[in-house]
Amino acid sequence: MDDYALGVLINMGLFSFLALSAYLLLIAGEMSFGQQAFFGVGAYAAGIGTAMWALPLPVAALAAMALGAIAAWLVGLPTLRLRGLYFAMATLAAAEMFRILFELFHWQRSVDGEPVGPDGTQGFRGIRWVLEQGIEQAGYAAIVFALLALVLAALFVVERSRLGATIRMVGEDAELAAVLGVNVERVKLGVAAAAGALAALGGALYAHHNTYIEPRNFDIMLGVHSLAYGLIGGLGTALGPLAGVALDIGLLESTRAFQGYRMIVFGGLVAVLLIVRPRGLLDEAAVNRIGARLRHRGAP
């Protein structure tokens, strides 16, 4: 595989974390325009950890996830009782506040005689832990996809459990769930925090892949894309958002034939796809059908 293809592959993996983060909130019934904020928090936190304080990436990434979860919890606290466009706009406002705070954030310290750290709109360069460890592009791809597989496995386990059923129940009908004794607020806050941690993990890996981040990376476009991935791919399974990512980044970015017209093709394709499958490629009904077929084939 050449470096270009590997780069596309890694990008698919990185944005899958963000798409899954938006997906988690979607199955809990909330549409967030603001998950890019926690992606950004993760990117900055992990970058500060490895580049400024010489922490190993795993430690920095864990700290980033904790910070992402806390930030998402704090944003969720006053907003999660809102629904639909109200919640979407509240999270958008929060995410833009984070982006502007990144622009105002200056904190540098001297590492080997060079100032390192976030420098407002100038960005944050020199996040070189991966290079310093001698990890090649292919090795990094393996790390990203191993972590993604781990996250997917965890999501599959959760979705098959009672907790997963509770989350979807809250998403379908929060009032009914409350009547049945579910603590809706706690479930939603828990989901928001988990989604924040997931986005932050993606951000941490993103910062170390690019070695340079700037506030503009975490703008509204990124957030709406990550939300759209789940809605295009379908919310029946955690594989839905990945299908959305694969369609956008995998299919269009890698096929250089569409260069310059990528968004025209992508936009038209998605609009037509939504006419045929308004609830996405892998919606609940499709997942049930496929699941039933698989079980049928598996039976003696």
Partner 1 sequence: MLADVAQNTLDGLMLGSAYALLALGFTLIFGVLRRANLAYGPAIMLGAYAATWVNLSFRPGLFVLALVTIGGATVAGAYVERLCFAPHGRRTLSRDAAAIASMVGSFALWMQLEELATLWLPKHLYSFPPLYDGPQFAVGPFLMRVEYIAMMVCAAAVCYGLHRLLYRTRFGLAVRAVVDEPEAARLAGINVPRVFLLVFGLASALGGLAGYLIVTAHEQVTPMLGMWSTLKGMIAMMLGGLGSLPGAVVGGLALGLIESYSQSLFGPQYRDLITYLVLFVLLATRPTGLWAMLAHRPAVAA
Q: Applying CB under 8 A, which residues contact partner 1? A: 31, 78-79, 82, 84-86, 89-90, 93-94, 96-97, 100-101, 103-104, 220-221, 224, 227-228, 231-232, 260-264, 266-272, 274-275, 278-279
Q: How far is the CB of 31 from partner 1 (least distance, A)?
A: 7
**The tokens of 146 are what?**
């191993």
Question: How far is the CA of 123 from the CAs of 106, 108, 119, 207, in angstroms?
Answer: 9, 11, 5, 11
Q: How far is the CB of 268 from partner 1 (least distance, A)?
A: 6
Strands 212-213, 114-116: parallel, antiparallel or unpaired by DSSP? unpaired
Nearer to partner 1, 51 or 232 (CB): 232
Nearer to partner 1, 24 or 227 (CB): 227
C-alpha–C-alpha distance, residues 204 and 209, integer Å: 9
C-alpha–C-alpha distance, residues 263 and 252, integer Å: 9
Q: How far is the CB of 22 from partner 1 (least distance, A)?
A: 12
Question: How far is the CA of 9 from the CAs of 6, 186, 208, 261, in angstroms?
Answer: 5, 36, 15, 21
Nearer to partner 1, 146 or 263 (CB): 263
Half-sphere exposure of 74 (CA within 13 A, CB side): 11
C-alpha–C-alpha distance, residues 199 and 188, integer Å: 16
Nearer to partner 1, 104 or 292 (CB): 104
Q: How far is the CB of 165 from partner 1 (least distance, A)?
A: 20
Half-sphere exposure of 21 (CA within 13 A, CB side): 36
Nearer to partner 1, 193 or 248 (CB): 248
Nearer to partner 1, 141 or 214 (CB): 214
Q: How far is the CB of 278 from partner 1 (least distance, A)?
A: 4
Q: How far is the CB of 92 from partner 1 (least distance, A)?
A: 8
Q: How far is the CB of 213 from partner 1 (least distance, A)?
A: 18
Nearer to partner 1, 29 or 203 (CB): 29
Q: How far is the CB of 135 from partner 1 (least distance, A)?
A: 34
User: Residues 98, 40: contact at Cβ < 8 Å?
Assistant: yes
Q: What is the largest CA-CA distance in the chain?
A: 69
User: Residues 202, 39: contact at Cβ < 8 Å?
Assistant: yes
- Phi, psi (rounded to 5 degrees) for 124: -135, 105
Nearer to partner 1, 269 or 287 (CB): 269
From start to end of 55-146, where are the E strands? 109-111, 114-116, 124-125
Contacts of 145 (CB under 8 A, 6+ apart): 13
